[in-house]
Structure 1
Amino acid sequence: MEGLLIHAILRDLKPRLPVQTLGWVFPDEGTAALLLEGIGNLVLRYRPPNPILTLEPGELEGEPKTPFQRMLATRAKGRLREVQQVKLDRVVRLFFEGEHGFVDTPPTRLIFELTGRNANLILTDPEDRILGLDRNVTRQVNRFRELRPGLPYTPPPPYQKLDPRTANQADLRVLLGQRLAQAAQKNLDGIGKELAQELARRAGLTPETLLSEPHLPTLYKALQSLVAQPGERAALSKDLREAWEQEQIEALRKPLREALLKRKKTLEARLEDYHKALARLDEAAKLRAWGDLLLAYSQQVQPHLSEAVLIDFQGQEVKIPLEPSLSPAQNAEKYYSRAKRLEANALRGGELEPKTQEQLAKLAAELEAIEKAGRAELMQRLERTRQDRSSEVGLRFQSPSGFTVWVGRSSKENEFLTRTAHSQDLWFHVQGIPGSHVILRTAGQNAPLPDLLFAAQLAAFYSKAKGDKNVPVDYTSKKNVWRPRKAAAGQVLYTGAKTLFVDADLPEGVSEA
């Protein structure tokens, strides 16, 4: 959720503060809703990767489902006195006054970090010491910002961006010479990808428009409109809609074109190598002739020479470089080996050159087709490419009920398989031990216990626990798995996991790949 949208929600709420709270409800493990007297529900959906803060009417229900939710229900009480947003950052602070009663509840602060994959909900005391939080952040995950109970809360690092609420038209000159959407995200506080595109709509431009001085008045007016009502969406004129469509088509075409050009460059390099190999056939003949001369005159060549001067079979004087530490016969064998290698390369080049030329011709036709393709065809090509890539990565098995199971064999494969899995697929990993990421491809369908045990055994077998007994394997929906910022490939965090205990052997009837 982008900072300017958060600001708009808090802007509507602040004039009505302080307000009495009527308790918490928890619709699911990743959602907390605070009932505000006379206002409605302040809903905090805090599980990554898409956290949301909203004010919603109606009645919500749900008891606490996690230890942190139980703490939140008992510690964050009393009037909601204040809400804060530093700059237009995606961090919101809620200040609770506490309650007096048979057992007093002291004041607390709730910090909601709506920071994508690093989203978190943190309860602190008035001195900002952490009482509890949804997800601990250890030094192994972030060595600059550790978050766990008992530590002082450390906010995200500060940054410098232009505040769109106070910026004037002259301030926007910093965007000149850049593409609109990219420049807005980079320089304007509280504006991310979606709002940058909305800014382009309201300015009557496209996200890829290269900004110049004449654009500033309309851009400034659009920015003021966005600050006032970030949630509204502007309609596109016919010309602008066509321009947007062309940019979107080009965005689809670009990765396909780049992949083909990369392949073309590789094939052209191979073709050049084949031509060089064919051109060195004369060199191979010369090296073989040197070997013949060295064997023919081996008795006349003195040892430890760096060069031999001999008369070839046509009566011409020939100078042959020698390795002083080798005998004439050994030098000859060395030249025969080099000649044989050059001849083999030339033979291979002669065989592969026509095939490579054919592949290049097909690539040229594909490139031409891509340049002419419309949106639907480009999307189909991208989907086929994605499926082709995924089919080449990792091991493949079939569960007892017929679900496909993916197993990564390296950190890069683990990262790719997890990233490309369906959000409702099930993700498996041995608890606390390095090993493969395993994906049970259910796409949200209920998986019987034998399928769960099958995938868990694969996760245990393809890990450092291989051969052990009673190994704990965690599993959860893929949507609950995310890669922390700056983490290495294959390193993830996850929530909402259940645990199965299995022997780290291959499932019955499965052979090791």
Structure 2
Amino acid sequence: MAFDGITVASIAAELNEQLKEGRIAKIAQPETDELLLTIKTPNGQKRLMISASASLPLIYLTAENKISPMTAPNFCMLLRKHIGSGRITKITQPTLERIIHFEIEHLDELGDLCRKELIVEIMGKHSNIIFCDANGTIIDSIKHVSAQMSSVREVLPGRPYFIPDTMNKQDPLTVTLEDFTAVLSQKPLPLGKALYTSFTGVSPVVAEEICYLSGIESGITPKDLSPDILQHLYTQFTIYFEAVKTSRFSPVIYYDGKEPKDFSALPLAHFSQYTVKPYDSISTVLATYYSSKNAITRIRQKSADLRHVVQTALERARKKYDLQARQLKDTEKRDKYKVYGELINTYGYNLEKGAKQLEALNYYTDKMITIPLDSTKTPLDNSKKYFDKYNKLKRTYEALSQLIQETADDISYLESVATALDIAQSEDDLAQIKEELTDAGYVRRKFMKKKVKIKSKPFHYISSDGYHMYVGKNNLQNDELTFHFADGGDWWFHAKQMPGSHVIVKTRGEELPDRTFEEAARLAAHYSKGCGSEKVEIDYVEKKHVKKPGGGKPGFVVYYTNYSMMIDSSIDGIALAE
């Protein structure tokens, strides 16, 4: 979701509710492009984070504090001098621009009441925090923009502040039907793109949502729409923005499995395929979304080397398997050569010298067959030649059967490690996977380096009926859970014939309710390669029936009697233990 005008409107409404009439108690600048304001309000102390980072500009209320540099930067010192104890009198957003104005009253050095403006622009790489006087003249900014950097607007002390109108967009809160129709009709673009390039504050996701709610394909060009359809689109457009006008926001985060996919200040009907989680505050949404997104991104970056090792080994193993499978297929003709040899021994006594073939009855199938012969060899030598071919292919078959099974086991093991990397949530999880790959020989252990002490622990859930459920994050944890932690009467769950976690349910010697069986199966489906599927087949059995074959790889088990169920992979509503 773009940090669009609707999101900024939601933040502005929240800040008005939380910070208006509050006094600025502390101003800090933790980063070169970031401010942290501590504000005392009638409802208690609040912290406002403002970031003008080119890569991730943000503004939201937060409970967290950040360490500031020993010497405050010049911009921070300037703000402290002017508005260090100022009162926030007004928080506004011009139309639906990605801009928030803070009007602040303070006493100057002579004790006279003055007014200043702190303007926050959330505009991607052009984001800035600008400090102005009551006349709109820039006093200073956290980023200086000279004429050499921008031909549109200078952001320097002494310059007038204005919002550059480079896109000539319409205000969606006040646009009339006539203007709406005229603007769209001029654009030879798909309808979705025409909407977000024509109206202020509308992102591509919002444009898609309006098309979806209107029942109109977003790829159609506006000129292909009749006046009645355009009026219907306008009606849906105004209904959607009525919630923005009246500040009726419903902040949500959409999840794809456990990964936050997107956020929005208003619900998105066309995101029905994702799991939605509502929040009371847009600040909480932004803090949760970006911290979760950053954590997942960070773990993926740190796991990149391990993923490369696993992916390279998988590609090699799959190529090896394909080659062995082709070689194994070539051995299928071995029994034919055995039959040829036997039939030559049986019927070859009456062959004429120099015969090139033998017509004989195959007593295995009761059909006549033609056997090619080497005319320079005797029937006995021809028979021996076929028996030699048979024995060679038989030896190849026996050797390849074992090798191809070993290769298949390697592929299955590496796929399970790849799944464990997807599940990993911390550096400790990655450290344990790396240790496993080192033990397996896929990662070289550094000279004289001791094994690291692993702090990673399995997931621990509580079923709705109060039973403890444990999920292994990787193969080492799977083995530990199944063969050292679980008792014989505990229940064991695993996705059928696919990489995934072992799930153990501690029974306390009791018979489990059906609901607990279903919740444990959903955990096994979620923490498997089938995550995201609506139906995953799960095997479950008492732990005493699960065995570890001699020499088996980590996480590999066998069982011969089990129950199965089809279940979805959603774990919504299953409580994670504290």
TM range (shorter): 0.3 to 0.5
TM-score of the aligned structures, taking structure 2 as reference length: 0.36
TM-score of the aligned structures, taking structure 1 as reference length: 0.40
Q: Which has the larger radius of gyration?
A: 2
